[in-house]
Amino acid sequence: MSAAPADALFEPRIDARRRRSRLFAGACVAVAAFTMTVLAVLLIDIAHDGWPYLTRSFLTRYPSVLDPKSGGMLSGIAGSIWIVGLTALLAVPIGVGAAVWLEEYAPQNRLTRFIRLNIANLAGVPSIVYGILGLAIFVRWLHLGRSVAAGALTMTLLVLPVVIIASREALAAVPNSIRQAAYALGATRWQTVRSHVLPAALPGIMTGVILSLSRAIGETAPLIMLGALTYVAFVPGGALSDYPSGAGGLLEWTQTALTDQFTAMPIQVFNWTSQPQKDFHDLAAAGIMALLGALLTMNAVAIGIRAWSQRTRT
């Protein structure tokens, strides 16, 4: 058996391989394009179904059990605003505080590592499990009932890991030289954090916070677990004008709102979608458009903050 010449063993087949590479690139582009097409189809389908129902009165009316044509989502919009507003009030200070501790204060020991691991795992806990937690702790144990307060507390626990992770990333991006400069001038740790690190990290923190709150707007499962109602013909607290004017009336209104039952935008969408009639489905599509509109607004604000901070920093 004679040995084959060396260049016959080695076949570069460079043209065929290049062709295959280009083909693969084409397939990748096709896949990416397919994904975007799906997104487009989803939006067009929803807009097509929901547009006729998305009127001014849809946004300012209460839902109707019997007649889809006269249904609205006022109580859902009000409920969502209350829940997300309260969630922001609770989750932002706690989340940013925890992130500051982890990034600026925490010693390198087992406790710190455990807390970090724990936060990463909490971010992966299904949202419905937070709903079960809220049902057992806030609704039953603390006797808050199926109230706005219970909903907001549950939502706070749900978004906290996301807020902490986003804030930590923003804090970690602050250059160390800023901290060293502050320490060199005799600032204490808190003075350094408050006056130098936090302001530098603020745009990043705000972007992350807004994105995690926009997640809270769309969350349905935990609120259903808490027993948020599907038909609610009032807004939490009722009309502010029914209360005496001044701080006392405002306080009373807030107290009533916190203990009131509620519904939220995604819950109404869920409820309408689970009805068999086509009219209710179209109403759900209109509700989805309102929901996506709220999300889009929040994301636009987040992008705006990022762009603004990049402009002012340079």
Partner 1 sequence: MPAIVRKTREGAIHAALFACAVVSILTTAAIVWVLVSESLGFFRHVPLADFLFGVRWAPLFEPRSFGVLPLVCGSLLVAGGALLIAVPIGLASAVFLSEYASPGVRQFAKPVLEILAGVPTVVYGYFALTFITPHVLQRLLPGTEIFNAASAAIVVGIMIIPTMSSLCDDAFRAVPRTLRDAAHGLAATKLEVSTRVVLPAAMSGVAAAGLLALARAIGETMAVTLAAGMTPKLTFNPLTSVQTLTSYIVQVSLGDTPHGTIEYQTIFAVGLTLFAITLTINLAAQRVIRRFREAYE
Residues 137-176 that bind partner 1 (CB under 8 A): 137, 140, 157, 160-161, 164
Closest approach, Cβ 75 to partner 1, in A, equals: 17
Nearer to partner 1, 59 or 292 (CB): 292
CA distance 145 to 53: 33
Stretch that binds partner 1, among 54-62, 65-73, 236-244, 273-281 (CB under 8 A): 273-281
Buried b (16+ CB within 10 A) or exposed e, 41-56: eeeeebeebbeebbee
Query: Residue 191 is encoded by which pair of tokens?
Result: 């003075």
Reference 76, options 215, 262, 296; nearest CA is 262
Helices 198-218, 74-100: inter-axial angle, 10-degree rounding: 140
Residue 25 binds partner 1 (CB under 8 A): yes
Residue 269 binds partner 1 (CB under 8 A): yes
CA distance 163 to 211: 9
Nearer to partner 1, 192 or 258 (CB): 192
Residue 105 binds partner 1 (CB under 8 A): yes
Stretch that binds partner 1, among 10-18, 173-181, 200-208, 238-246 (CB under 8 A): 10-18
Task: Please list, in sequence order, all residues whose beta carbon lies within 8 angstroms of the beta carbon of residue 211, skipping any fewer than 6 positions away.
Answer: 162, 166, 298, 299, 302
Nearer to partner 1, 52 or 93 (CB): 93
Interacting positions 221-250 with partner 1 (CB under 8 A): 221, 224-225, 227
Nearer to partner 1, 223 or 258 (CB): 223
Interacting positions 55-94 with partner 1 (CB under 8 A): 93-94
Residues 273 and 284: beta-carbon distance below 8 Å: yes
**Binding residue for partner 1, selected from 292, 301, 306, 309, defined by CB under 8 A:** 292
Q: Determine whether 16 is exposed, middle or buried from the number of CB atoms within 10 Å of its CB (0-12, 13-18, 19+).
A: exposed
Closest approach, Cβ 137 to partner 1, in A, equals: 6
**Binding residue for partner 1, selected from 220, 232, 257, 262, defined by CB under 8 A:** 220
Q: In whole angstroms, what separates CA 4 from the centre of its chain?
A: 66
Residue 49 binds partner 1 (CB under 8 A): yes
Percentages (nearest 5) of helix, strand, coil residues in the chain: 80, 0, 20
Interacting positions 245-264 with partner 1 (CB under 8 A): none
Interacting positions 181-200 with partner 1 (CB under 8 A): 188-190
